């Protein structure tokens, strides 16, 4: 019976701390590392160098997904994947996504150092832009792999400075690569994928468990809303003749909260986290307000129903105030279930290590949600202190991370030596 492998806590800690130094705004709290910023490009270089140091071959596809390949004894077999993201939200933490990339690298180091045989190659992935911050779309790299982001569409995604994703791909040389050949993936291209990630909620901490086995992943719907009123003088315009876009938006946003609350289900959530007021001057009645509604659910039918209710509310609130609006659903993903055989492989490792086999649902979305369209997936969670994430105070102890890496390593070894999943 093979001894339990053990991750090297110092290497994992060093990778996490080093990546945290690649930060666009070090003067601000937390880590800010949005796609293709200098900080993110430095982080990419660091990860590629760590992949090469392990003896992996490294390549990127035409949308910037990074692949580090630890070749198996039979490289003709479909590989096992493990990865996550290194981009962050603004003023985010240093564990979201990073734990999955650093953990997969450490798993490969352990496999290599201990000469553990694996028939299938193991590929460590860094997915392009899992966060939606810069271009308003989440899981860009994994979404493109699943065929939901044709290259032409990248010309329509712009950041706040008006730069398109396509322009960035061109600037960095990615448009020289064949998009369809290097990005698109099909069923059978990948044998299985396992992602290690922080829970970003407090179930594991409350249960006192060091790891969790994800059974299903909630999916997002993003809606861009624009409300147009009449920009006028704040001092000389009587209250009864105003067409104040921000007052209308405020009514809408509170209605979004009220409707989401009415479902009383912890997986039915809706948020407005980004808003732009024009012209945003204290002595001008706002003429236009643009904001994004972020809806999540594990039940697609509920998400669709809630989207319709939000649209109805916006229509009636703006009509009552004689304002115009636009309502554009820009993302509408489907929730997914994880593969039973992969769940069992993760549970086998937990059992072998005397850990609880705690099955749970992910409220956050992940790249695993999108790649589940072409490969069986599994996810391993480690706790988030106080359930805090997307926040400078995001924290998971190194001991908990190492526990997750050990379970990930066992699972990758098991899967990379399996002929079939069923």
Instruction: Return residues touching ligand HGY (CB under 6 A).
Output: 130-131, 138, 364-365
CB of 26 to Mn ion, least distance (A): 20
* Cβ atoms within 10 Å, residue 125: 25
CB of 190 to ligand HGY, least distance (A): 22
| H or E segment and range at residue 123 | strand 122-126
Among 60, 61, 96, 333, binds Mn ion (CB under 5 A): 96
Residues in the interface with Mn ion (CB under 5 A) total 2
Q: CB-based burial of residue 309 (10 Å sphere; 0-12 exposed, 13-18 middle, 19+ buried)?
A: middle
Q: Where are the beta strands (DSSP E) in 187-305?
A: 192-198, 212-217, 219-228, 232-233, 269-278, 284-285, 288-297
CB of 359 to ligand HGY, least distance (A): 19
CB of 131 to ligand HGY, least distance (A): 5
| Residue 97 near Mn ion by CB under 5 A | yes
* Cβ atoms within 10 Å, residue 302: 16
138 binds, among Mn ion, ligand HGY, none (CB under 5 to 8 A by kind): ligand HGY
Estimate the crossing angle of helix 300-320 against helix 245-261, to 10 degrees: 150
Estimate the crossing angle of helix 9-20 against helix 38-53, to 10 degrees: 160
339 binds, among Mn ion, ligand HGY, none (CB under 5 to 8 A by kind): none
The residue at minimum Cβ distance from ligand HGY is 364
Cβ neighbours of residue 26 under 8 Å, at least 6 residues apart? Answer: none
Closer of 138 and 376 to ligand HGY (Cβ): 138
Quote the distance between the C-alpha of residue 207 and its chain's center. 24
| Residue 229 near Mn ion by CB under 5 A | no
Closer of 64 and 97 to Mn ion (Cβ): 97
Q: How far is CA 320 from CA 233, 244, 248, in A?
A: 22, 12, 9
CB of 103 to ligand HGY, least distance (A): 16
CB of 370 to ligand HGY, least distance (A): 11
285 binds, among ligand HGY, Mn ion, none (CB under 5 to 8 A by kind): none
Residue 253 CA to residue 235 CA, distance in Å, equals 26
| Residue 394 near Mn ion by CB under 5 A | no
Residue 252's nearest CA partner among 333, 309, 331 is: 309
Residue 213's nearest CA partner among 200, 193, 197 is: 197
| Residue 133 near Mn ion by CB under 5 A | no
CB of 94 to Mn ion, least distance (A): 12
The SS3 assignment for 1 reads coil
Closer of 93 and 287 to ligand HGY (Cβ): 93
| Residue 244 near Mn ion by CB under 5 A | no
Closer of 356 and 387 to ligand HGY (Cβ): 387
Q: Which among 91-99, 159-167, 243-251, 372-380 is the span making contact with Mn ion, rule CB under 5 A? A: 91-99
Pairing of strands 192-198, 219-228: unpaired
CB of 92 to ligand HGY, least distance (A): 9
Closer of 50 and 85 to ligand HGY (Cβ): 85
Binding site for Mn ion (CB under 5 A): 96-97
């Amino acid at each position: 019976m093979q001894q339990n492998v053990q991750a090297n806590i110092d290497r994992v800690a060093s990778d996490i701390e080093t990546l945290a130094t690649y930060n666009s705004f070090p003067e601000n709290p937390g880590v800010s590392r949005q796609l293709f910023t200098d900080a993110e490009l430095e982080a990419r270089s660091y990860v590629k160098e760590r992949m090469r140091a392990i003896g992996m071959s490294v390549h990127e596809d035409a949308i910037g997904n990074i692949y580090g390949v630890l070749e198996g004894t039979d490289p003709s077999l479909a590989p096992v994947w493990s990865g996550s993201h290194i981009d962050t939200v603004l003023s985010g933490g240093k564990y979201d996504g990073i734990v999955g990339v650093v953990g997969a690298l450490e798993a490969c180091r352990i496999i290599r150092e201990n000469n553990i045989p694996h028939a299938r190659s193991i590929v460590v992935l860094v997915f392009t832009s899992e966060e939606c911050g810069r271009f308003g779309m989440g899981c860009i790299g994994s979404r493109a792999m699943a065929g939901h982001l044709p290259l032409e569409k990248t010309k329509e995604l712009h950041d706040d400075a008006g730069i398109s994703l396509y322009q960035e791909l061109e600037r960095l040389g990615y448009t020289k690569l064949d998009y369809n050949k290097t990005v698109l993936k099909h069923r059978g291209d990948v044998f299985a994928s396992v992602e290690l990630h922080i829970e970003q909620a407090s179930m594991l901490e409350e249960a006192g468990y060091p790891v969790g086995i994800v059974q299903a992943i909630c999916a997002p719907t993003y809606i861009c809303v624009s409300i147009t009123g009449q920009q006028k003088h704040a001092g000389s315009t009587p209250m009864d003749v105003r067409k104040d876009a921000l007052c209308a938006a405020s009514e809408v946003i509170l209605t979004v909260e009220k409707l989401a609350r009415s479902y009383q289900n912890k997986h039915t959530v809706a948020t407005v986290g980004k808003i732009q007021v024009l012209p945003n001057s204290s002595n001008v009645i706002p003429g236009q307000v643009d904001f994004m509604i972020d809806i999540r659910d594990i039940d697609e039918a509920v998400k669709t129903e809630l989207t319709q209710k939000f649209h109805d509310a916006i229509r009636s609130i703006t009509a009552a105030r004689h304002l115009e609006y636009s309502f554009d659903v820009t993302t509408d993903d489907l929730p997914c279930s994880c593969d039973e055989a992969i769940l069992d492989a993760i549970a086998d490792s937990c059992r072998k290590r005397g850990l609880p086999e705690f099955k749970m649902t992910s409220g956050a979305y992940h790249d695993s949600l999108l790649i589940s369209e072409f490969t069986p997936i599994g996810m391993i969670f480690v706790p988030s202190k106080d359930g805090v994430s997307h926040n400078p105070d995001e924290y998971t102890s190194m001991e908990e991370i190492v526990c997750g890496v050990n379970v990930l390593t066992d699972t990758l070894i098991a899967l990379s030596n399996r002929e079939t999943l069923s």
